[in-house]
């Protein structure tokens, strides 16, 4: 499984932000811009909390298993893989959603004198922050689930004895 790249996530965030900003301008010129739901930052924050709790739990279980503590509960590799896939997909979706609400939020900054639009801009800002938290939690989970580097590389004959 490939690691998440910060450049990919940033590209998704910026690209979606630009498109959503342009879309918000167009939509507002022909009608009423749909609002940012209050649940958006809440749902993203819950996902970030779940990812963080999963990462902390896996880290503690892996550490106990590595230290051979008595009664240590092992980590099922399939469960760790599922957690990793959930984290990576959550990070990608959070980058898209954060870009979407970031672009809308930037558009709404031009009309902060209207109370409804000011509230929408605040919700959009909190959504971006919660999306960043999801990405950070997913990267932490990915780091926890990373396997140690294998030392299966073949050495030239005679180099093992010299420690090279």
Verdict on whether the full-model pTM lies above 0.95:
no
Count other C-beta atoms under 10 Å from residue 91's C-beta.
25
Compare 122 and 3 and report the one with higher pLDDT: 122
* Distance, CA of 145 to CA of 164 (rounded, Å): 29
31, pLDDT greater than 90: no
Q: How far is CA 65 from the centre of its chain?
A: 27
- Check residue 164 and give its pLDDT: 47
Give the separation between CA 52 and CA 83, rounded to whole angstroms.
Answer: 11
- Per-residue pLDDT of 46-83, as tens digits, reads 999 999 999 999 998 888 887 777 777 777 888 888 99
Q: Dihedral of the CA atoms 135, 137, 38, 106 (nearest 10)?
A: -30
Residue 133 has pLDDT above 60, yes or no: yes
Q: How far apart are the first and last CA of the chain?
A: 30
Angle, nearest 10°, between helix axes 115-145 and 77-108?
A: 160
Closest CA to 50 of 2, 82, 13: 82
pLDDT at 153: 54
Domain ranges of the chain: 6-25+35-147
Packing angle of the helix pair 39-66, 77-108 (nearest 10 deg): 150
Q: Where does the pLDDT of residue 150 fall: very low under 50, low under 70, confident under 90, or very high at 90 and above?
A: very low
User: What average pLDDT is seen over the chain?
Assistant: 87
Return the residue matching tokens 């609002």: 35
Question: Mean per-residue pLDDT for 135-148?
Answer: 89
């Amino acid at each position: 499984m490939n690691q998440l790249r910060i450049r990919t996530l940033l590209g998704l965030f910026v690209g979606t932000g630009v498109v959503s900003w342009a879309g918000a301008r167009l939509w507002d010129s022909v009608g009423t811009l749909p609002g940012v739901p209050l649940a958006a930052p809440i749902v993203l924050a819950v996902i970030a909390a779940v990812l963080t709790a999963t990462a902390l739990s896996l880290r503690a279980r892996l550490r106990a298993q590595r230290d051979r503590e008595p009664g240590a509960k092992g980590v099922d590799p399939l469960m760790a893989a599922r957690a990793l896939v959930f984290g990576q997909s959550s990070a990608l979706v959070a980058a898209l959603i954060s870009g979407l609400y970031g672009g809308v939020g930037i558009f709404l900054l031009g009309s902060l004198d209207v109370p409804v639009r000011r509230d929408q801009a605040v919700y959009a800002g909190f959504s971006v922050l919660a999306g960043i938290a999801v990405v950070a939690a997913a990267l932490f989970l990915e780091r926890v689930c990373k396997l140690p580097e294998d030392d299966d590389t073949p050495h030239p004959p005679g180099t093992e004895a010299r420690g090279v």
